Amino acid sequence: MTENPGREADLLGRVPDGLLIGGRWRPASDGATFTVHDPSDGSVVKEIASATAADGTAALDAAAEAFPAWAATPARERAEVLRRAFDLLQERADDVALLMTVEMGKPLAESRGEVAYGGEFLRWFSEQATHVQGRYGANPEGTGRMIVSQHPVGPCFLITPWNFPLAMATRKIAPALAAGCTVVVKPASLTPLTTLFFAQLLLDAGVPAGVVNVVTTKRTGPVSEAILSDPRLRKLSFTGSTEVGQQLLAQAAPGVLRTSMELGGNAPFVVFDDADLDTAVDGAIAAKFRNIGQACTAANRFLVHRSVADEFARRVTERVTAFRTGRGTEEGVTIGPLIDDRAVSKAADLVDDAVSRGARVLTGGTRLDRPGSFYAATVLADVRPGSALLREEIFGPVLAIVPFDDEDEAVRLANDTEYGLVSYVFTENLARGQRMVERLETGMMGLNVGVVSNAAAPFGGWKHSGLGREGGAEGIHEYLQTKYTLTPDPFA
């Protein structure tokens, strides 16, 4: 069921269905295709090319061939191409947002938010492109001059997940291009259409042939292995699960590839008894239910001081029961489907496990009896230690509350995970907030806010949540390598 089937059909007709290699769209070399589905009802959205390993190598051929000229292109010109892409994205924002909702399921308003967020990486890195600097100076002995310069690392392989189909692509492509690198992008096979549409936008913005290549495929392992084992590849940037990231790190080792890894999370959301509860509840709704809970930054464990736990639970439950579930294109829908039935089963299993260990269901706790991959927005109170959802990423609309008694216990529980992507803390006590900044093992922190993402900030995790940073002044350096040159003292 669609709000405007004619508009969707027209848009889907304009999405390329091939591989982008060397500036041309073409079918897979063996003609294979796969289908993309709408998670709100399981219907087929579009059929697109499924690359072979040879197609992956052909895409790397194109990236390697285009690299010298792109690396030599003045930074100002690279910046202007990215800026044109930013402008074109604003013009095509409604199309990109609708496409994301159709293939991924999030409500249209959230897709529009992702277009704004994802677009900012194009603008930010167009600005950063012209600010890459070296340095020149005497060595401490005074016997020579040291020159330090920055150079693009070379052709890059960028692998993106399905949960933010646009922003995870722009967060990698924009800094790579700004630095002078060329890329092969492999989007998730569940949500490739946004990347295909965006790649055409990049061509329209003036990105030269071969600078951005896209391989969609159902044969991920062989395609990825062919690219990773090729000595011309110099860098792998991956966003996805920690498990796949670990495998890819092993595959990147023989080539001693530069790697950036944006992996899983298990974010604690800590509410102290001195928190402003209205602020904490607003933060909780954003941190938990944005993207239907399918964000690496989603709050996974709500650690709430025992004295305010019941009131916090009552208020979030009131908000959650007012959500409207449905296809993301429908007016007023706040919760869409999960990405697929596997995700629904995972949420159901985690909730059942927590309930069997003594958690109380305040709302939800069930699959929805309708077509599509829907799970009810859920609030669980009194989640017991040992429950699987305290260790694993839930990746669904399930808010799990665990009471604590003092600050030390909150810190111990918050850090009790192998992940360290983001943490949220709500307190009106400044010194306590500062102590939490110092004590939490986390790459990012929201202090009295529930969403931290910003193109100008260094996004990334500690521990098993990853390596490297995307965005911020740091982001472009993931795609640059340093050269140090010594020359004699010119006065000697």
Alpha-carbon dihedral angle through residues 465, 470, 475, 476, given to the nearest 10 degrees? 110
Question: How many other CB atoms sit within 10 Å of the CB of residue 136?
Answer: 11
Alpha-carbon dihedral angle through residues 363, 266, 174, 260, given to the nearest 10 degrees? -160
Sequence letter at residue 456: A
Tell me the residue nearest to ligand NAD as measured from the CB: 240
User: Which of 282, 470 has the CB closer to ligand NAD?
Assistant: 470
User: Which of 326, 443 has the CB closer to ligand NAD?
Assistant: 443
Task: Tell me which residue has tokens 């044969």.
Answer: 219
- C-alpha distances (whole Å) from 411 to each of 160, 404, 405, 423, 446 are 32, 10, 11, 11, 15
User: Which of 263, 402 has the CB closer to ligand NAD?
Assistant: 263
Of 120, 181, 296, 478, which one is the catalytic site residue? Answer: 296
Min. distance of Cβ 399 from ligand NAD in angstroms? 17
CB 379 within 8 A of CB 313: yes
Please select the residue that binds ligand NAD; options are 195, 224, 373, 423, rule is CB under 6 A: 224
β-strand partners of 466: 262
Min. distance of Cβ 344 from ligand NAD in angstroms? 14
Specify the stretch interacting with ligand NAD by CB under 6 A; choose among 119-127, 144-152, 186-194, 207-215: 186-194
Min. distance of Cβ 443 from ligand NAD in angstroms? 9
CA–CA gap between residue 453 and residue 113 (Å, rounded): 12
One symbol per residue from 52 to 81: x for binding ligand NAD (CB under 6 A), - otherwise; what is it?
A: ------------------------------
Please select the residue that binds ligand NAD; options are 163, 170, 237, 387, rule is CB under 6 A: 163
Min. distance of Cβ 456 from ligand NAD in angstroms? 16
Please select the residue that binds ligand NAD; options are 159, 173, 199, 351, rule is CB under 6 A: 159
Min. distance of Cβ 438 from ligand NAD in angstroms? 23
Q: Does 345 bind ligand NAD (CB under 6 A)?
A: no
CB 300 within 8 A of CB 267: yes
User: Which of 37, 84 has the CB closer to ligand NAD?
Assistant: 37
Please select the residue that binds ligand NAD; options are 111, 160, 260, 363, rule is CB under 6 A: 160
- How far apart, in Å, do the first and last CA atoms of the chain sit? 80
Question: Residues 358 to 397: which contact ligand NAD by CB under 6 A?
Answer: 393
C-alpha R_g of the chain? 23
Q: Does 227 bind ligand NAD (CB under 6 A)?
A: no
Element (H, E) at 311: helix 306-321
Q: Does 201 bind ligand NAD (CB under 6 A)?
A: no
Contacts of 216 (CB under 8 A, 6+ apart): 19, 34, 48, 49, 50, 51, 186, 187, 189, 192, 195, 196
* Residue 65 is a catalytic residue: no
Structure tokens at 479: 């795609």
Contacts of 240 (CB under 8 A, 6+ apart): 159, 160, 161, 188, 262, 263
Min. distance of Cβ 400 from ligand NAD in angstroms? 17
* Residue 296 is a catalytic residue: yes
Q: Does 244 bind ligand NAD (CB under 6 A)?
A: yes
- C-alpha distances (whole Å) from 460 to each of 113, 188, 252, 329, 455 are 20, 20, 19, 31, 12
Of 120, 262, 393, 470, which one is the catalytic site residue? Answer: 262
Q: Does 342 bind ligand NAD (CB under 6 A)?
A: no
Please select the residue that binds ligand NAD; options are 39, 152, 161, 165, rule is CB under 6 A: 161
Min. distance of Cβ 186 from ligand NAD in angstroms? 6
CB 463 within 8 A of CB 419: yes
- C-alpha distances (whole Å) from 483 to each of 132, 177, 317, 423, 486 are 13, 19, 56, 36, 10
Helix (H, G, I), strand (E, B) or coil at 471: coil
Please select the residue that binds ligand NAD; options are 53, 82, 185, 188, rule is CB under 6 A: 188
Q: Does 114 bind ligand NAD (CB under 6 A)?
A: no
Question: Residues 249 to 278: which contact ligand NAD by CB under 6 A?
Answer: 262-265
Min. distance of Cβ 261 from ligand NAD in angstroms? 8
Q: Which residues bind ligand NAD (CB under 6 A)?
A: 159-164, 168, 186, 188-189, 220-221, 224, 239-241, 244, 247-248, 262-265, 296, 393, 421, 461, 466
Active-site residue set: 262, 296
